[in-house]
Amino acid sequence: MGRRQSDSELGRFALLALFLMGAIFCCMVYLFLSMVSKPNSITVDSVSELGENGGEVALGSEEEDGEDGECCGGIEHLELWGDAVKWGSQFNVNSSEECCMACKAMCGDQGGPCLCDSWVFCGNREACGLRFGECWLKKQKDTLEPDRKDSGDLVMWTSGFIFGEREGVVGLETEYGVLRIKLFPDCAPHSVAYILEMLQVPHYAGCHFYRAEERGSFWDLLGNHVENAPFGPPFALIQGTLEAHGIIFKNIPTEVSHAVRRGSVAWIGSGPEFFISLANHFEWKNAYTRVRFCSSGRHGNCGENCPASIQTGGLE
């Protein structure tokens, strides 16, 4: 005849079963988050305009983005001033993109400054009237401080700016060195306009880095994912927020999204949180608006010298 288990034995088995179920559940949650989670914020010690020696070669190139397709866009309801190198009254095109491409075509292939670094297009047939289709190609006195004549819903113009190969480089100055960012306003005009606006403020309180994760054993030195390795954590990125006191931040609208590569600088959502990627994250598809590429110097690698234990802190 079988023997009945005591209440104490049943209680022990019940506790053991609950413990095992809880452990299995936690493991499943961890694995799920490791596969699908993405970063969700950045801070900068300071942002400073670089001098003549700041135009370092970025970690990436136009050729490297060939599969993403070329982009050329501007900001609606914005009119830029500047010396005309081609008069719109004598030059008409069908779209703002064509106007942008006409300006970009005046950039030489030798790495020097562009003969045209800004453009203005009138594309609202009703508002523009006889000026519809005008494309004004212009040259700014300071490419990092374009001359804005007017902006707002009543402005009928669409404007944009172009940086040459060695122009449009800004620096994030940290206690670990300067991270140099090559900006591409033709693909992310609103993002670049916000960064250029930040260059005009004297202090950057509110900007700081607050997260840094190494590559671990999941990515090699070139940022390529190791076969059969998980996609994180760690996610191989530096993260923070780029919002300075004194500037009213407006959400950055969705712009052209590209695959996140090693050296990419991208917003998280509509900003002001952003991250610098230390690896290729093709598994994230085109989920982020990329401001462009980062380099810590002519012989350096962006973010490679920043410790994974970087602390939250403001600007000096």
State the DSSP H helix or E strand holding residue 35, giving kind and residue range, or none if neither. Answer: helix 7-36
Q: pLDDT tens across 192-241, in order?
A: 999 998 888 877 777 888 888 999 899 998 899 999 999 988 989 999 99
pLDDT value for 125:
94
Cα(287)–Cα(268) distance, rounded to whole angstroms? 9
User: Could you give the angle at the alpha carbon of 292 between the alpha carbons of 194 and 59, nearest 5°?
Assistant: 145
**Mean pLDDT confidence for 96-102:** 97
Bridge partners (DSSP) listed for residue 238: 276
The confidence score (pLDDT) of residue 289 equals 57
User: Which sign does the torsion angle of CA 124, 129, 133, 137 carry?
Assistant: negative
Instruction: Output the furthest CA–CA distance in the chain (Å, rounded).
Output: 107
Helices H, strands E: what count in the chain? Answer: 4, 15
Average pLDDT (101-114) is 82
Label residue 287 by pLDDT band (50, 70, 90).
low
**Does 170 or 96 have the greater pLDDT score?**
96
37 versus 195: the higher-pLDDT residue is 195
Residues 50, 144: Cα–Cα separation, whole Å: 10
Q: Residue 123 has what pLDDT?
A: 96
Q: What are the DSSP E strand ranges found in the chain?
A: 47-49, 75-76, 78-80, 83-86, 118-122, 135-139, 148-151, 157-161, 169-174, 177-183, 208-213, 237-241, 264-267, 273-277, 290-295
Q: Which two tokens stand for residue 189?
A: 């005009």
Tokens standing for 227? 């076969």
pLDDT confidence of 95, banded at 50, 70, 90?
very high
Homologous superfamily of the 70-161 domain (CATH): Hepatocyte Growth Factor (3.50.4.10)
Q: pTM of the full predicted structure?
A: 0.70
Q: Which of 183, 245, 166, 262 has its CA nearest to residue 208?
A: 245
Averaged confidence pLDDT in the chain: 76
235: number of Cβ within 10 Å: 24
Average pLDDT for 116-124? 96
Domain ranges for the chain, please list them: 47-51+168-295, 70-161
Per-residue pLDDT, averaged over 155-181, amounts to 88
Q: How far is 266 from 263, CA to CA, in rounded Å?
A: 10
The contacts of residue 43 (CB under 8 Å, 6+ apart) are 207, 208, 209, 210, 240, 241, 242, 312, 313, 314
* Topology classification of domain 47-51+168-295: Cyclophilin (2.40.100)
Q: Which of the four pLDDT bands, split at 50, 70 and 90, describes residue 53?
A: very low
